[in-house]
């Protein structure tokens, strides 16, 4: 019985660690899909109901003319009435991952 409990505890610990690793790797994409895709579209082209309504530009159209720094600032501080500030919700490295992912969609 004691052995069983130890094995179970170890298994749970490994499971938690395992999902932590998966989360870290898929970070930018997962966050983007959960938090940004409603407006910016899963592929960045903003052709969603919200994207159209708010006239969000396609990633493909902005990546060339906007720097990483400018995008990081917009994601952290927000812009206009519809683009929220995510600086409080996400850590700097998560914002970096989001900007990286968003830019990769625009290429
Ligand atoms: C409620 C809809 C909405 C959500 C959700 C949203 N955005 Fe935006 N986003 C906008 C709008 C609208 C703009 C354009 C703001 C402007 O130029 O006035 C924008 C602008 C941007 C820009 C600047 C480049 C551009 O396309 O104009 C970046 C980068 C960006 N968003 C990233 C993100 C990321 C990353 C997330 C998720 C954490 C996110 N957005 C979530 C609506 C949204």
Q: Residue 40: is it exposed, middle or buried by C-beta count within 10 angstroms (0-12/13-18/19+)?
A: buried
Residues near 41 by beta carbon (within 8 Å), at least 6 away in sequence: 47, 48, 51, 56, 58
Low-confidence ranges of the chain (pLDDT < 50): 20-22, 25
Short-list 18, 107, 24, 7, CA closest to 61: 107
Share of the chain above pLDDT 90, in %: 74
Say what the pLDDT of residue 76 is. Answer: 98
pLDDT number for residue 25: 46
Query: What is the atom index within ligand 1 of the atom nearest the CA of 80?
Result: 18
pLDDT at 10: 57
Residue nearest to atom 26 of ligand 1 (CA): 57
pLDDT for position 27: 87
Q: Is the CB of 57 under 6 A from ligand 1?
A: yes
What is the structure's pLDDT at 1?
65
Nearest residue (by CA) to ligand 1, atom 23, is 71
Nearest alpha carbon to residue 35 among 15, 55, 50:
50
For residue 82, the ligand 1 atom closest to its alpha carbon is 12
pLDDT of residue 55: 97
């Amino acid at each position: 019985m004691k052995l069983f409990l130890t094995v179970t505890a170890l298994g749970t610990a490994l499971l938690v660690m395992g999902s932590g690793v998966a989360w870290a790797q898929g970070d930018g994409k997962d966050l983007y899909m959960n938090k940004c895709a409603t407006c910016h579209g899963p592929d960045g082209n903003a052709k969603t109901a919200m994207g159209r309504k708010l006239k969000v530009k396609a990633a493909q159209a902005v990546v060339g003319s906007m720097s990483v720094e400018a995008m990081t600032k917009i994601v952290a501080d927000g812009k206009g009435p519809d683009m929220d500030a995510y600086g409080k919700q996400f850590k700097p490295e998560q914002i970096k991952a989001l900007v990286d992912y968003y830019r990769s969609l625009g290429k």
